Structure 1
Amino acid sequence: MKIDLRKAHDSIEWDFVEDMLYALKFPRRMIGWIMQCVSAHAYTLPLNGPSLVTLKDGEASGLHINKDNSDIYMNEVAAADEQAILSISGFKKGSLPFKYLRITISYKRIFNVECSILVDKLVARIRGWGAKHLSYAGRLLLVKTVLTQIHSYWARIFLLPKAIIHKVESICRAYLWSGTKEHHKAPAVAWDKCCLPKNQGELGILNCYNWNIATLGKYIWWVANKKDCLWVRWVHHLYIKQHDWWHYSPTTNSSWTWRQLCKVKALLEPGFVHHNWLQAPYSATAVYKWLSGDHLKVSWQPFVCNRLTLPRVNFINWLFIKSRLLTKDRLAKFGVIIDGVCYLCGTLQETLKWRGRSLLHKKLILAALASLVNFIWEGQNKCRVENWVPHPEHIRKRIQDVLSDRLTSLRMERVHSWDMNWVKEVGLL
C-alpha cells in the first residue's frame, strides 16, 4: 500500500511566485530566501544560536503520516499477508466500529447512543448562549447558522435515526421559542411550518430529515452514474453486480448502511426519473426543495422580510400576520387573564384585528407599519408590567429614528433624486 500526500507546492509555477513577490515590492534579498526555501528539497535553519536544524522536503509543511493514529482495516486476509502488510506499512490493525472526527463509522446499525454526541454538541452551544437574552430574531439566526449546520455535517455521512432527528428538532424548537434547550409549552407556530421557505411566509429553517435525505442522495447519483471511485466499484461488484440499479433490492445479509442507502434511493427515485437529476451535477439544494414540496407563495411576504425593517420587528410582524401574538383576547381565551380591555385606549378589547409611487416609498411605508405594530406591542407589555402608557408622539419619534437608522446603514447610491428629496422632506435623513 502506498500513501501519497500531495502538497500544494507540487503544482506551483515557481517563476510565477517569484514574479509576484517582485511585483509586491518585496526586498530582493528576502525574495531569494523565500525562493530557496520553497523550491529546495532540503535546507538548514539556525535554532537558538549555533544549533542547526535540517528540514527535508515535506517536513516544513507538516504533511506526514502519523503512524500512531493510522490503522488498516482488513477482512478475509490471510494471516501471513496481514502481518506482512502491517510490517511494511508500520500501521496497526484497526477494528470496527471506530470514530472519525467523533463520528462512529461502522457497517452495523447506528443506534441512538452513537449519535448522542450530536445532541450533546447542540446542548453545549445553547448553554453558552443562554445568558445573552437574545430576541426571537437573534435566536432564529443562531438556529439557522449554527444549530442546524452542526446537524448538517452529520447528515452528509449516514441516515440518522429518526429519534435523533426528532431530538435535534426539539432542541432547535425549544431554543427558538424559549432560549433554552427545553420548552414545555406549545410553540406559537408548528415546527413543520417554520421549516417552509420564506417566500411561502415562513422562517426557512432547515428541515433536518429532508436535508439528511437530500445530502445522501449524492451517493445514489454516484452509483447510478458509476462515478470513478473505489467505493462505487466495490458496491457494484459486491451488491449490484449485473442488476439494474433502479430495480435492485438489497438482500437481508447486506450491511445496515447499504440497506439505508437503498431506502434513500426509493424515496428519491421519482425525482431522478422525472426531473433528470442524473443528467446534471448533483445538487442537494434542488433535491431538498423537491422534498419540501410545492406550496403557495403569500402576498404579504415583503411585509415580514423587509430589509428596511429591523429583524426583530420582522419576526414580531410574522407572528402578527399569523395571529400568534399573545394579545389579551387570546390570553383571556386561555384563561390566563380575565380583563381583555386594551391598555392603550382603555375602551376596546385588545385584539389583532386591524384595517389596513416608487418601490422605496412602498418599502418605507411597510417598514413604518411594521415598526408601529412592534412598538404598540411593546407599549402594551410596558403597561402590563410597568403600568406605564407611552405617548403616541413618543412612538412616532421611535419609528422615525428606526427608519432613519436603517436608511443610513444601507447603500443609497442607486436611489433616485426625487426619492431622496421625499425621504428628506419626511425627516428620515
Structure 2
Amino acid sequence: MPQLAFSRRSALRGLGAAGLSAALAGCGVPAAYVPEARREGRDRSGGERSLAFSNWPLYIDTDDEDESRRPTLDAFTEKTGIAIRYTEDINDNDEFFGKVGPALMSHQETGRDLVVVSDWMAARFVRLGWAQKMTRSAQPNVARYLDPQLRSPAFDEGRLHTVPWQSGITGIAYNRKALGREIRSVRDLWHPDLAGRVTLFSGLDESFALLMQGNGVDVTRWNASDFHRMCDQVEGLVRKKHIRRFTGNDYTSDLGKGDVLACQAYSGDAIQLRADNPDIEFVVPEEGAELWAESLLVPNLARHKKNAEALIDHYYAPEVAASLAASVNYVCPVPAAREVLAGSGDRESAALAENPLVFPDDEMRRRLAVARDISSAERAALAKRWNAIVGL
C-alpha cells in the first residue's frame, strides 16, 4: 500500500514554478504544437526488446521480501522477453513537464517510452500534440476491460492518446466520533460546528470540481460563472476563518492528530487513514464527487512504442490489474479485476473486492463524474483567482 507520506494526487500544482510550464500554460506558442504526422519516430521495438517506463514513487506492486522486485513487471518480461527500465522519477507534474518539455518542444526524444501523469497534465500533453495515438487493435484488453466511466474524457475523446493507470475519488474525510454527526454533503462542511476545523486542497485542479459539485454544478460542463461563484463562497469562508488552511498531502496528519475534523481527501489515502483510525470516514457527497485518473501515455518519438503499448495491455488483463489494485489500493480502472480478487480465496483480497473505494458500486458510480478539465485558454485567469484566495 502506498505510504501516506506521499500521494500522487497531492503533489500537483496547477501553474507550477517551472518556467516552461508557465510559458505554455496557454499553449500560445505555435512552435510547441506537434501535428499527428510528426509524432512517431522510428520504432525500434522489433529489434530492441526493451522499453523505458517513468512512474511516480510507490505506485506499483512490489515483492514482500524484496521491494526491488515488481512482480507484474517481471511477469511481462518473462512472457514477452521485453526488458523494462523502470524509474520512479516523477514527483510533481509540473516538474516533470519542465524536465521533458524542452525536448518535446524541440522535436527531440525524451528517453522515455511510457510515462504516467495526472489527468490534467495529460490534457496538456494531448493539446500540445506531445502524446502519440495508440494502436488499439494491438490492445485487446484495453478495448474490452477499460472502465466505461473513464473511456472518453473531454481532453482525449475516445482515449486515443491516453489510458488510465489508476483512478481515484476526491471526496470528504472526517472524524465521525470527534464530530459527533455524519457528513453527507459538501454543504455540511460549512456548518458552524466545523469553524476553523476544515481544510481544502490548495491545488486548483484538485479542489475545484468537488466544491462546484457542492453548489449543484454539473462538472462535466461547468463554466466560468460556476467557477467564480464557488470562489466567492470560499473567499467568504476564508474571511470568516471557517477554513483552517489549504493543504497538500499534509491533510492526512492534520486529520490524524485531530487538528481538523473534516477535509477534502482522496479515496486512496482514506483506506490507510481508516486502517490507522476506524473513526475516520470517507464520503462521496450526495451532490457527487470527482472521479479522476492518472494516465499512461507514449511521448513523441518514443523508441519503443509497440513495446509500450504491449505493456499497457498487459496491465489491463484482469488478473494483472487485480495484483496492482491489491498493492496500491486506488480505484481500479479494470472493473473485471474485482471478480479475480473475490474468487482468490484470500480473505484480504475478498474484502478489497467489496471495497467501494477500489471498486465503486452502482450506487456510488451514479454520484461520480469526470470533470471537464481547465482549458489552456482559461487556466491563467482561473489560477490567478484561486491562488489569490489560497495565498500562493
TM-score (norm 2): 0.23
User: Which structure's relative contact order is higher, taking Cα pairs within 8 Å and 6+ residues apart?
Assistant: 2
Which is helix-richer, 1 or 2? Answer: 1
TM-score (norm 1): 0.22
Q: Which has the larger radius of gyration?
A: 1
Which is strand-richer, 1 or 2? Answer: 2
